[in-house]
Amino acid sequence: MLINRKFVLVSLLVLLVAGLGGYTLLINPDNPFTRLFQRKISDVTTRIVVGPYPVERDFRLLAANRVTLIVSLLDPAIPYEKTLLEKEGRLALQYGMRLKNFPMSSILGRKFGGYYEGSAAKAAAAIAGTSDKVYVHCYLGLHRIQAVRDLLDARGVASGTYNVRRAERDKVRLVLDGAEAAYNGKRYEEALARLAQVSAAALPPEGRLLQAWSHYQLGQLSAAAGQFAAERQATPGAVAPVVGSGYCALRAGRLDVAEQDFTAAIRRDPSHADALGGLGLVQYRAGRRAEAIRSLEAALQQAPNNQEFRDVLEQARRPLAK
């Protein structure tokens, strides 16, 4: 009887140690065993990058390539993924990125939980509806992420181009890469010229938004506003074209229209930095300083490096001259 009791205790101890070891392995995905199964991070020069859970060195790579939004498919209902999600939130803040979580539960490709499809649809809509450079991931970068990519493909949004020979990349992707590089270099006319190489029917949503923003940066407000309006009709529910319309209205001095657009965008995405900051700019111009301060502070929590928001916030905080 004593032997049996010892056997049971030893067995429980072995199981406990094994469980703790497995948990430790899971919350530290940067290990030789896990790396055997992980998908590699895709081409970081494209707007939508896909891959596995990002460890700190991955954050350095993503930051160097101007990723501003992390879309995580980890599920906080799973204990080890909750731990990883909390760590990821701290790293995103450290590297000046926003983090959005759309929980999806999957084990070895077998989905579970009634929110799997709904979260995939919301993640795809958020990615398609923003002009941010995005990194989207699950744990290994294999199964959950594919459900989101399939929905993006259905929208005509390319994601996760892997590093094969450059000549094998399709023409549209090459044109978008060149146009994005020109835009980031403030060569807006060049960006428009590159985008003109692709027919309007073949241009995906991110290309059309890049076109609209290029017109905006060149001061061609009528063209920009028209394209943002068309994109709102083409992709109902998307936030990015609503924000673009808001900035066009703001630059044109139509504060009431701009406020409506930014407010609508914030209702859809309460953490959208450009929408929050745009609303703050409207409120400041309208003389509503207290509201402007709140909106701009919220915007800077999401985008701490935005100098325009920071400058206007400082002005709003200055005491009124007597």
37-154 topology per CATH? Protein-Tyrosine Phosphatase; Chain A (3.90.190)
Confidence of residue 160 (pLDDT cuts 50, 70, 90): confident
User: What is the tens place of the pLDDT at every residue in 92-101?
Assistant: 999 999 999 9
User: What is the tens place of the pLDDT at every residue in 172-189?
Assistant: 777 877 888 888 788 999
Instruction: Look at the block and give the residue holding tokens 């701290």.
Output: 90
Confidence of residue 111 (pLDDT cuts 50, 70, 90): low
Domain spans in the chain, listed from the N-terminal domain onward:
37-154, 169-317
% of the chain exceeding 70 in pLDDT: 81
Average pLDDT rounded to a whole number, residues 108-131? 77
Name the burial class of residue 236, with classes exposed (0-12), middle (13-18) and buried (19+) by CB atoms within 10 angstroms of its CB.
exposed
Tokens encoding 247: 């900035």
- 76 Cβ neighbours under 8 A, 6+ residues apart: 82, 85, 101, 103
The answer as to CATH 1.25.40.10 being correct for domain 169-317 is yes
Q: Where are the alpha helices (DSSP H) in 187-268?
A: 188-195, 205-217, 221-234, 240-251, 255-268
Residue 234: CA count within 13 A, CB half-sphere: 20
Q: Where are the alpha helices (DSSP H) in the chain?
A: 2-26, 32-35, 56-64, 79-94, 116-128, 144-154, 171-184, 188-195, 205-217, 221-234, 240-251, 255-268, 273-285, 289-302, 307-317
